[in-house]
């Protein structure tokens, strides 16, 4: 199957299979991916605009990987959750480096950061496919690459002052982030059927 940027659409379906425990997991993961997009955008805007809230906004963004680890930890254990958090934190810190290099007009540094950014995306896709047999490496690679390409366009538009394009690009980032949350939910529910077939809430 071809998992190109436009070729696959994950459709969320709240059928009888969506038990309260699975819905709760999905809500948590959707909130985390929403926060990932939201705080990334605010951090980019703060860096580009040289706003006084850059440090505190960046700090809040960098809490996102730890919040993911808190959800994944009870399922995969603290070591695996921490490894995912580290990969996601690298994704965010490299993004900040890229924004600053682009803003400064440092093409060499920007190209180097972008290469590391995509290598990190590939590492995330490989890591996820290794810990869950229901997560496709090809699909996660495609989703992560599209996520990075859209963020790159959003940043470029912000730096250039093309604000309408910047906002329109962000509107494309959000639904794809929610799709990643839904793919993540489905894979976890399939891997841990006894946990997510329960009618009660799973997370305390």
pLDDT tens readout for residues 102-144: 999 999 999 999 999 999 999 999 999 999 999 999 999 999 9
- The arithmetic mean of pLDDT across residues 50-54, rounded, is 96
Instruction: Identify the pLDDT of residue 204.
Output: 40
How far, in whole angstroms, is CA 144 from its chain's centroid? 8
- pLDDT value at 1 more than 90: no
**pLDDT (mean) for 6-27:** 64
List, as one string, the DSSP characters of 56-120. HHHHHHTTHHHHHHHHHHHHH-HHHHHHHHHHHHHHHHHHHHHHHHHHHT-HHHHHHHHHHHHHH
- Judged against a pLDDT cut of 80, whether residue 44 lies above it is answered with yes
For the chain, give every domain's residue range: 20-196
Q: What is d(CA 34, CA 88) in angstroms, rounded to the nearest whole number?
A: 14
Beta strands in 119-176 (DSSP E): none
CB 65 within 8 A of CB 114: no
Examine the pLDDT at 193 and tell me if it is beyond 70: yes
| Euclidean distance between CA atoms 192 and 197, whole angstroms | 9
- Of 75, 101, 102, 70, residue with least CA distance to 85: 70
pLDDT at residue 73 greater than cutoff 60: yes
Q: pLDDT averaged over the chain?
A: 90
What pTM does this model have?
A: 0.87
Q: What's the average model confidence in pLDDT over 96-105?
A: 95
Confidence of residue 201 (pLDDT cuts 50, 70, 90): low
Name the most confidently modeled range: 3-12, 158-167, 191-200: 158-167
């Amino acid at each position: 199957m071809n998992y190109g940027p436009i070729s696959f659409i994950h459709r969320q379906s709240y059928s009888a299979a969506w038990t309260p425990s699975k819905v709760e997991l999905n809500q948590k993961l959707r909130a985390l991916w929403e926060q990932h997009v939201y705080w990334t955008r605010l951090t980019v805007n703060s860096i580009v605009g040289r706003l006084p809230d850059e440090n505190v906004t960046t700090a809040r963004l960098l809490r996102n990987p730890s919040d993911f680890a808190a959800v994944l930890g009870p399922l995969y254990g603290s070591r695996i959750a921490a490894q995912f958090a580290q990969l996601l934190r690298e994704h965010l810190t490299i993004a900040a480096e890229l924004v600053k290099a682009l803003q400064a007009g440092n093409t060499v540094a920007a190209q180097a950061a972008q290469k590391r950014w995509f290598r990190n995306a590939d590492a995330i896709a490989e890591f996820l496919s290794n810990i869950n047999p229901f997560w496709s490496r090809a699909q996660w690679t495609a989703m992560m690459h599209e996520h990075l390409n859209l963020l790159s366009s959003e940043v470029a538009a912000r730096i250039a002052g093309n604000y309408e394009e910047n906002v329109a690009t962000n509107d494309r980032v959000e639904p794809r982030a929610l799709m990643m949350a839904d793919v993540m939910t489905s894979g976890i529910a399939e891997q841990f059927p006894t946990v997510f077939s329960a009618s009660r809430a799973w997370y305390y």
